[in-house]
Amino acid sequence: MPLTKGIDNKIVDYLYSAEKERREVEKISDQYPDLNLEEAYRIQEKLIQKREEDGCRRIGLKIGLTSKAKQEMMGVHEAIYGYLTDDMLALEWEPINFQEWIHPKAEPEIAFMIGEDLLGTNVTAEDVIRETKYVAPAIEIIDSRYVNFKFTLADVIADNCSSSKFVVGSKWVSPKTLNLEDIGMVMSKNGEIAQTSSGAAVLGHPAESVAWLVNKLGEAGKGIKKGDIILSGAISEAISFAPNDNILVQFDELGSVSFSCKSSN
């Protein structure tokens, strides 16, 4: 049975208060098992609108489930997306506060800095490369509001795909000069290697992931805009971190990005 507008708003308040109060909640599909993906994206949109009412501003999007293995694990055939707001952008040189999260994890990403609007349903990776001004190393910090980081696909979409924070490195490079699918990546925690991978882990090529996003948004008459930051998808599995941990992601030809975590203000 489709969700009514009143239930939509109730779920938005439920998720938003969990984020604000930094507490785990039961996944919404426990109470609404028939929640579908269209309804979940509608809830996500209302959740972002609520953030905007509180003074936040949209500055881009993130893409999830860009690994074929993860898609098979979740029983889906395509990626998912969520929004980035200005309060999610962390500065690489400032330690971040562990108390801001519930159970955070770090994912290595390649960020696309969009140079021109992209809109349509037949956008290609080549189009994305042409209209991207720069790519840069990035780390996304994901933090599901659900108990034990457990959820269905609809749950995670409604929760804005676990978006929390992200850090962008200082080296920005034109994507036209790189073979993004071949770029190697090493993620370390406290000086020890935690994950290795390459750009090809993201739907074969990170620009393919961004093209998917544009085409998906295009189905609803939306697109991505000049100036948007797009996190193209996790290049490896996420890793957990704790206070006093240091996370470093290094890319061939694209430089590095890092953050340190403190226990409190």
For 101-160, the pLDDT digits (tens) are: 999 999 999 999 999 999 999 999 999 999 999 999 999 999 999 999 889 999 999 999
Q: Where are the domains of the chain?
A: 5-262
pTM of whole model > 0.85? yes
CATH of 5-262, one of 3.40.5.50, 3.90.850.10, 3.30.1330.20, 3.60.15.10: 3.90.850.10
* Whole-number pLDDT of residue 68: 73
Q: Is the dihedral of CA 82, 83, 88, 92 positive or negative?
A: positive
* Whole-number pLDDT of residue 73: 65
Q: DSSP letter at 101?
A: -
Reply yes or no on whether the pLDDT at 2 is more than 60. Answer: no
For 163-187, the pLDDT digits (tens) are: 999 999 999 999 999 999 999 999 9
* Whole-number pLDDT of residue 1: 46
Q: What percent of the chain has pLDDT over 90?
A: 87
Higher pLDDT, 113 or 2: 113
* Whole-number pLDDT of residue 162: 95
* Whole-number pLDDT of residue 132: 98
Among 151, 127, 137, 125, residue whose Cα is nearest residue 203: 125
Residue 215: what are its φ and ψ, rounded to 5°? -65, -35
SS3 53: helix
Please, what is the Cα angle at 113 between 85 and 66, to 5 degrees? 75
CA distance 106 to 195: 11
pLDDT averaged over every residue in the chain: 93
